[in-house]
């Protein structure tokens, strides 16, 4: 029973981290687009900022690691999240390509893209941060 409660807690905090990461992603993407970057290029800094945000939340709340944060851990986390990025980025580009509305408003393409990468990112971050 305690194991189930801990797992539900992890899902909840992972969702909070993901939602916060989504807001950061959308904000940085919006700034990039406002400065004239194409959507595919603006996603690079927006994704990096979102990953840094989710790493901080996941390591401190979701998986509660007592270890001090390190660049090595962050780079491992970033590498692991890159698999989720591949799914996320591919869906993002496909939605923009397939939808005139998403092409005009690339932020809308973040929703299915984020959902597509979330499961993979949960599994990989759990493996890295719960060591």
pLDDT along the chain (131 residues), means of 10: 76 88 96 96 92 87 75 83 87 96 94 86 69 56
pLDDT value at position 109?
96
Q: What is the 3-state secondary structure (H, E, C) of the chain?
A: CHHHHHHHHHHHHHHHHHHHHHHHHHHHHHHHHHCCCCHHHHHHHHHHHHHHHHHHHHHHHHCCCCCCCCHHHHHHHHHHHHHHHHHHHHHHHHHHHHCHHHHHCCHHHHHHHHHHHHHHHHHHHHHHHCC
């Amino acid at each position: 029973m305690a194991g189930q409660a801990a797992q539900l807690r992890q899902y909840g905090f992972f969702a909070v981290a993901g939602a916060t990461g989504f807001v950061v992603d959308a904000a940085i993407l919006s700034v990039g687009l406002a400065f004239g970057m194409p959507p595919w290029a603006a996603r690079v800094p927006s994704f990096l900022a979102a990953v840094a945000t989710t790493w901080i939340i996941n390591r401190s709340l979701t998986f509660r690691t007592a270890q001090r944060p390190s660049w090595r851990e962050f780079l491992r986390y970033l590498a692991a999240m890159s698999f989720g990025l591949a799914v996320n980025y591919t869906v993002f580009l496909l939605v923009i390509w397939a939808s005139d509305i998403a092409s005009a408003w690339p932020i809308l393409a973040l929703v299915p893209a984020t959902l597509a990468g979330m499961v993979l990112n949960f599994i990989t971050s759990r493996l890295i941060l719960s060591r």
